[in-house]
Amino acid sequence: MDLQFTPQEQAFRDDVRAFLKDQLPARIANQVKAGQRLSKADQEEWHAILNARGWLANHWPEAHGGPGWSTVQKFIFDTECALAGGPRIVPFGVNMLGPVLIKYANAQQKAHWLPRILSGEDWWCQGYSEPGAGSDLASVKTTAVRVTDASGDHYIVNGQKTWTTQGQHANMIFCLVRTDREAKAQSGISFLLMDMNSPGVDLRPIRTLDGDCEVNEVFFTNVKVPAKNLVGEENKGWTYAKYLLTYERTGIAGVGFCIAALVKLKVIAARVLKNGKPLDQDPLFAARMARVDIDLENMKTTNLRVIAAAASGGVPGAESSMLKIRGTEIRQEILSLIRRAMGPYALPFEEEAQYAGYAEPLLGEPEAATAAAHYFNYRKLSIFGGSNEIQKNIISKMILGL
């Protein structure tokens, strides 16, 4: 296995850098680098720029609107975007639902839904977690009963989803629903596409520790969903759900964002003083930075090994669990160090400072205003997408055979 980039891949990286220099709006990049929240309009603007270049769904095959990149090219693009301050691509439609539709949907569904994901006509959210079914998705209780009446063939959906990220922006939700209560838990689940504007859908925001309301509860009361919105076969949704989760977990690792965050931490540590010396000369702080630096280098190597294996056409397997665990732990440690570097200036919480246009004087270092909010928000990383404890169980069974 050769972990060095080829001359062609280095030339591709130059193309990506030139594109980002010309096309990534400085306003958005500055917000990302400052740790400020982006609006839906900001995210849609960046998606439209990437889509115009044909780079939005960079892991989709060319036949469905992808650029036909190798997995190495995708890794290079993601890393360069993160370093340049490019926003994270909102994953629900492009990175999570798209691959499921491409692999399991029928021709009519692909022709209808995939172009709408690329154009931004549909904004998707994920209806997986429930109050009693987070990492244990086999326990989902939201029901979908198939009926045929004068209005056609459809499902009647009742139940509740929770932790629905960015559901407040979405007009569509992909859901795991129970279509057979008598079958084995994993065998009675189906994968439905639902219109969030349907009668009977009620969305309620959840305020989180960082002061944001990016997650929601979604309630379904006798919601009518056309049967044509069933993806794949009825009661086979567990297979599609697992396929989607491998992409979600690999994406959660966020190797590119870890690299960018570590660069930011090193800049801060070289600038902030402790006892008259830069923080990166403090033995304890420097030791923690060195440890996370080593961990990140190891994760990059693992990521490239996964990429090299996937280049033959495979999909991420248990390796996605490894990346999810290490990636989330590394990002949490980096954010913990940034918050620690801010010292007492990370304590005041000014929600308005999280948004562009905030003009009031800041206390302490520029990063202080967002340090605590990011630290608290990213506690979720090791929980969502299947908690890290669940990922360790997967590794123990699939890799170690325990």
At 139-192, the pLDDT tens digits run 899 999 999 988 899 999 999 999 999 999 999 999 999 999 888 878 899 999
Residue 118 pLDDT: 97
**CA-CA distance, 235 to 232, in Å (whole number)?**
9
At 13-69, the pLDDT tens digits run: 999 999 999 999 999 999 998 888 999 999 999 999 999 999 999 889 999 999 988
At 269-281, the pLDDT tens digits run: 999 999 999 999 9
Closest-CA residue to 91 (of 208, 174, 23): 174
Closest-CA residue to 229 (of 195, 198, 192, 201): 192
Closest-CA residue to 85 (of 211, 206, 259): 259
Residue 302 pLDDT: 82
Q: How confident is the model at residue 331 (pLDDT cuts 50, 70, 90)?
A: very high
Q: Which residues have a Cβ under 8 Å from the Cβ of 228 and sit 6 or more positions away?
A: 108, 109, 153
Closest-CA residue to 75 (of 250, 324, 296): 250
Residue 177 pLDDT: 97
Q: Which residues have a Cβ under 8 Å from the Cβ of 73 and sit 6 or more positions away?
A: 9, 12, 58
Residue 306 pLDDT: 72
Q: How confident is the model at residue 309 (pLDDT cuts 50, 70, 90)?
A: low
Residue 186 pLDDT: 83
**Residue 3 confidence (pLDDT) above 70:** no
The rounded percent of the chain whose pLDDT value lies above 90 is 60
Closest-CA residue to 237 (of 317, 177, 147, 164): 177
Average pLDDT over residues 302-312: 69
Q: Output the average pLDDT for the chain.
A: 90
